[in-house]
Amino acid sequence: MHTMKETFFLLLSTSPIWLLILSFLGFFTILWHSATVARWVYRAFLRPSKDLRYYGSWGIVTGATDGIGKSFAYQLARAGLNLVLVSRSSMKLKAVSKDIQSEFPDTKVKIIELDFTEDDISGGIAEIEEVIEDLDVGILINNVGITYPNASFFHEVDEKVWMNVFKVNVKGTTWVTKAVLPKMIKKNRGAIVNIGSGAAVIVPSHPLYAIYAATKAYVDQLSRSLHVEYKDWGIDVQCQVPLYVATEMASRVASVSQASLFIPSADDYVKAAIRQIGYEPRCTPYWAHSLQWCFASLLPEAMLDAWRLSIGLERRRKESVTMKRIEGCKQE
Ligand SMILES: NC(=O)c1ccc[n+]([C@@H]2O[C@H](COP(=O)([O-])OP(=O)(O)OC[C@H]3O[C@@H](n4cnc5c(N)ncnc54)[C@H](OP(=O)(O)O)[C@@H]3O)[C@@H](O)[C@H]2O)c1
């Protein structure tokens, strides 16, 4: 009767070398994939979130009156932070601020009305700098972002529309970061979360929304470089790249009417998003989005391109039918 050890060495000495190599390769491949799955489970569900108050007692959220930004505002307040909310409608800002203060009476909220599509936003940026001058700002959520109202080929997009997308997504994000960063550098501490999009990272193209995807690629690259530049200053810069989240924007551009397994509500997205702050420089925080990212990475890019194009074209077709119907009704 052989012991297990003896059987193992007997097998080693009697098996052909090619079988041994294949067996070792198989073993290490299984080990590698198991480690990847274990790491994903840990990051998505088990890893403790950072104490956000460590970064400072105030958080700034742009685009804070709806969707993901509004959820960030509530959940940062729940985490014990005071808030500076930046958005374009003072009425909506006051309503959100009032709601947050009634739910979290100890939370201080300051609001700044700023329309990022304006040509000159230097006044609004100066106001942000002034408001945060004496505040211990720890977290910036650069959330504001817009896209086209309709799926369109590049040459069809009205100049005003694409300029607005550029002004909000690129210029707005850059200016606000520039305004807030010096405060973080001074105290060697801070977290900046830039909301990018899976449209620029997870899929290889986003046809019929090309300028939106390009602006989000800018956000991704800016974030990565700032992450490297400022990590020695104790500042964690992160780009989050969500896929669809059930918000007003998703309902407009993708007819998403409600949350589902793969399309979280803004609250569910932000719950996951907050748990990732301060960790990897780029992430897609919601578990079902990261699964989709994994599947997408297994497919050939040409297949993903063709799929995205077919979705864009279908949307464009539906939108043009709706437009024709509306025009028909007007003429009757
Ligand atoms: N939803 C998705 O499926 C999805 C997927 C990937 C990435 N994202 C990104 O996530 C971010 C938030 O998207 P969301 O879906 O939450 O959008 P949303 O529901 O449309 O909310 C956008 C927020 O930004 C504000 N805003 C819009 N234009 C503005 C302007 N010119 N100046 C100042 N504030 C302005 C809006 O203010 P009002 O309340 O006044 O409209 C609102 O508070 C964006 O950067 C978007 O690109 C979203």
Contacts of 64 (CB under 8 A, 6+ apart): 70, 72, 73, 83, 85, 86, 87, 93, 96, 143
For residue 193, is it within any domain? Answer: yes
Q: Name the residue among 213, 212, 210, 208 with its Cα closest to residue 314.
A: 208
Q: Domain tally for the chain?
A: 1
* Residue entry with tokens 């409600």: 258
Average pLDDT over residues 155-166: 97
| pLDDT, position 69 | 98
| pLDDT, position 1 | 63
Extended beta strands in 118-267, E state: 137-142, 190-195, 235-240
Of 55, 74, 209, 212, which residue is the catalytic one? 212
For residue 233, is it within any domain? Answer: yes
User: Domain limits at 258?
Assistant: 50-309
pTM: 0.93
Say which DSSP state 136 is in: -
Residue of the CA atom closest to atom 8 of ligand 1: 197
What string of DSSP letters covers 39-92?
HHHIIIIISPPP-GGGT-SEEEEESTTSHHHHHHHHHHHHTT-EEEEEES-HHH
CATH code of 300's domain: 3.40.50.720
Q: Is the pLDDT of residue 327 over 80?
A: no
For residue 9, is it within any domain? Answer: no
Average pLDDT over residues 305-315: 95
Q: Is the CB of 87 under 6 A from ligand 1?
A: yes
For residue 265, is it within any domain? Answer: yes
Whether 212 sits among the annotated catalytic residues: the reply is: yes
Among 66, 92, 162, 257, the mutation site with the greatest number of ligand 1 atoms within 8 A of its Cβ is 66
Q: Is the CB of 83 under 6 A from ligand 1?
A: no
Residue of the CA atom closest to atom 45 of ligand 1: 145
For residue 24, is it within any domain? Answer: no
Average pLDDT over residues 279-286: 97
